[in-house]
Amino acid sequence: MLPPSVRRGDVDDHLSSRIGTGAEITSPDSPSIYKVVGVATEIRAFKRSEAIDYLKVLPYANGLPHWEPAPAAWYGGSAAWPPRQPMTQDQLEAAAEKLMASERFHPQAAFVDGRLVGASAMLSFEITVPGLNQLPMGGVTATGVVATHRRRGLLRGMIQAMFDEALDRGEPVAALSASEGSIYGRFGFSPATVRTRWEIERPEATLREAEQPPGSLELVDAAMAREAWPAVHDIARKDRVGELSARAGQWAGLSDEADGTDDGPLRYLIHRTPEGDIDGIANFRLPWSPRLEDTGTLIVEALQATNNNAYRALWQLLLDFDLTKRIVAAPRPADEPLRWMLHNPRALRVTRQSDNLWVRLLEVPTALESRSYDVAGGITLTIDDDAMCPANTGTWRLDAGPDGATCARTNAQPDLTLDIQALSSLYLGGVSAALLASADRIRPHRPEAVTTLSRLFRVDPEPFNSFAF
């Protein structure tokens, strides 16, 4: 008898077919372990004593050309990845201690013949969903399988175990930032937010409103930035669909020192209300270059504000910093208000746009009932076979509106059919149902079904998450 967290139809068949032993599944003693006869493969949480093995696997696995760590590759900085030096034993011990101390860290690992050959983890977050409600979310992070053990279903096994555990913890939604676009769709993840990188030539960066908004600006050191960021972010994130609660110690590493590259140290700019409360903050750099034509770029790595005054005041200074020629910012939302504050909206040139958060609904009725909908309406939808979360499969009636929603199983004829990926992309309100229908990702059974779905799910402003994890 398999434990409930491991389903014979997906994880185990997949694994045995990959290993090619014609293996039978044994009865595992522990609910989170499964084994294949003849090949000692286990998927289970790793222990503190195994955390260093996990840390050693990760940089090795992630050091592929496609892996794009932020911010180095994001704006073409010079920081090397993977780090040039392996971590020392002391550094590994310290990192392992820190990792395992977090109650919000839920790791899984793959062991073959007792050796840790792959790992992944979920971090528990809150995500802001439409209606500005906070929903528990499991964020998949730090994933790698050593090159010699890839393509045998180890990641699939870990993802399945993490889905099952997230559901047990009451997290109806999972999400991740994808290293490659071709991996995570098969597990039901689908892009739900986008991020952009944009540039403005300083001479073109004139604002329509030249007057300084009320309040004051101050350049501060890293110690002050470490205090300001959590407070500003915790207000701002609850006001933007797609934003996440901060990771433990998210800003602990902010420093005034240069990291030894040409990027220069991070600088910090805060905005205060006339009463003195900090209501906005930006992190920026002024990298050095031996080539004159490459100097004078001010790079904004993060900017968050709790109101429009702070947002405008911060940009007003950053766009007009003496001895600079160009401003580059990333990651930024596609619907950046700054564009509409410029005399010349075309001056803000998006030089890159990519998917940001990939969402995966684990428990459809709970997720759909946890957000609100700007217009009142109802729709009956059929979700195609969801092998990894089979309770989602079937036909659901959603009756929704600004005050909330009910979502229940029904035997009625559906208005449309879609798979869990399409519904996950729609969930935060940033992807158009009409677009997905045009791509045959939604199959309407009534002519007006896609319009109804579109009106129900869209949000304004666009969902955005300001950091990956």
Ligand X SMILES: CC(=O)SCCNC(=O)CCNC(=O)[C@H](O)C(C)(C)COP(=O)(O)OP(=O)(O)OC[C@H]1O[C@@H](n2cnc3c(N)ncnc32)[C@H](O)[C@@H]1OP(=O)(O)O
| List 62, 255, 366, 410, residue binding ligand X (CB under 6 A) | 62
- State the Cα–Cα distance between residues 459 and 457, nearest whole angstrom: 7
- State the Cα–Cα distance between residues 162 and 121, nearest whole angstrom: 8
Q: How far is the CB of 27 from ligand X (least distance, A)?
A: 23
Question: Considering Cα of 218, then 224, then 226, then 227, what sign does the dihedral take?
Answer: negative
| List 61, 330, 383, 437, residue binding ligand X (CB under 6 A) | 61
| List 32, 134, 179, 307, residue binding ligand X (CB under 6 A) | 179
155 is in an annotated binding site: yes
Q: How far is the CB of 388 from ligand X (least distance, A)?
A: 11
Cβ atoms within 10 Å, residue 243: 26
153 is in an annotated binding site: yes
The span of 128-136, 182-190, 375-383, 451-459 binding ligand X (CB under 6 A) equals 182-190
354 is a contact residue toward ligand X (CB under 6 A): no
**Residue whose token pair is 């007003």:** 316
Q: How far is the CB of 13 from ligand X (least distance, A)?
A: 11
Geometric angle at alpha carbon 321, from 317 and 325, rounded to 5°: 130
| List 43, 51, 145, 217, residue binding ligand X (CB under 6 A) | 145
156 is in an annotated binding site: yes
The span of 142-150, 228-236, 433-441, 454-462 binding ligand X (CB under 6 A) equals 142-150
Distance of CA 411 to the CA centre of its chain: 35
Q: Which residue number, 152 or 371, has a Cβ lying nearer to ligand X?
A: 152
Q: Which residue number, 64 or 207, has a Cβ lying nearer to ligand X?
A: 64
Amino acid (1-letter code) at residue 109: A
**Selected catalytic residue, list 184, 187, 284, 467:** 184
Distance of CA 224 to the CA centre of its chain: 26
153 is a contact residue toward ligand X (CB under 6 A): yes
Strands 404-409 and 377-383, sheet pairing: unpaired
| List 16, 124, 128, 143, residue binding ligand X (CB under 6 A) | 143
Q: Which residue number, 98 or 149, has a Cβ lying nearer to ligand X?
A: 149
Q: Binders of ligand X: how many residues, by CB under 6 A?
A: 25
Cβ atoms within 10 Å, residue 343: 11
| List 168, 180, 239, 460, residue binding ligand X (CB under 6 A) | 180
Q: How far is the CB of 182 from ligand X (least distance, A)?
A: 4
Is there a catalytic annotation at residue 469? yes
Residue 468: half-sphere exposure toward Cβ, Cα within 13 Å: 23
**Per-residue interface string for the shown chain with ligand X, residues 105-124, x marking contact by CB under 6 A:** -------------x------
Which residues, 6+ apart, have CB-to-CB distance to 43 below 8 Å? 11, 32, 33, 34, 108, 109, 110, 111, 154, 157, 158, 160, 161
Distance of CA 55 to the CA centre of its chain: 21
Instruction: Sort 285 into a burial class: Cβ within 10 Å, 0-12 / 13-18 / 19+.
Output: buried
Q: How far is the CB of 162 from ligand X (least distance, A)?
A: 11
The span of 176-184, 340-348, 363-371, 382-390 binding ligand X (CB under 6 A) equals 176-184
152 is in an annotated binding site: yes
183 is a contact residue toward ligand X (CB under 6 A): yes
Structure tokens at 317: 């200074």
Q: Check: CB of residue 342 under 8 Å from CB of residue 348.
A: yes
DSSP reduced 3-state for 145: strand
Cβ atoms within 10 Å, residue 73: 12
The span of 148-156, 247-255, 286-294, 373-381 binding ligand X (CB under 6 A) equals 148-156
- State the Cα–Cα distance between residues 146 and 60, nearest whole angstrom: 7
Q: Which residue number, 153 or 333, has a Cβ lying nearer to ligand X?
A: 153
267 is in an annotated binding site: no
385 is a contact residue toward ligand X (CB under 6 A): no
Which residues, 6+ apart, have CB-to-CB distance to 88 below 8 Å? none
150 is a contact residue toward ligand X (CB under 6 A): yes
141 is a contact residue toward ligand X (CB under 6 A): yes
Instruction: Sort 381 into a burial class: Cβ within 10 Å, 0-12 / 13-18 / 19+.
Output: buried
- Can you say which residues are annotated as belonging to the binding site? 151-156, 179-180
Q: Which residues are catalytic?
A: 184, 469
- Can you say which residues are annotated as belonging to the binding site for acetyl-CoA? 151-156, 179-180
**Contacts to ligand X by CB under 6 A:** 61-62, 64, 67, 118, 140-145, 150-156, 176, 178-180, 182-183, 186
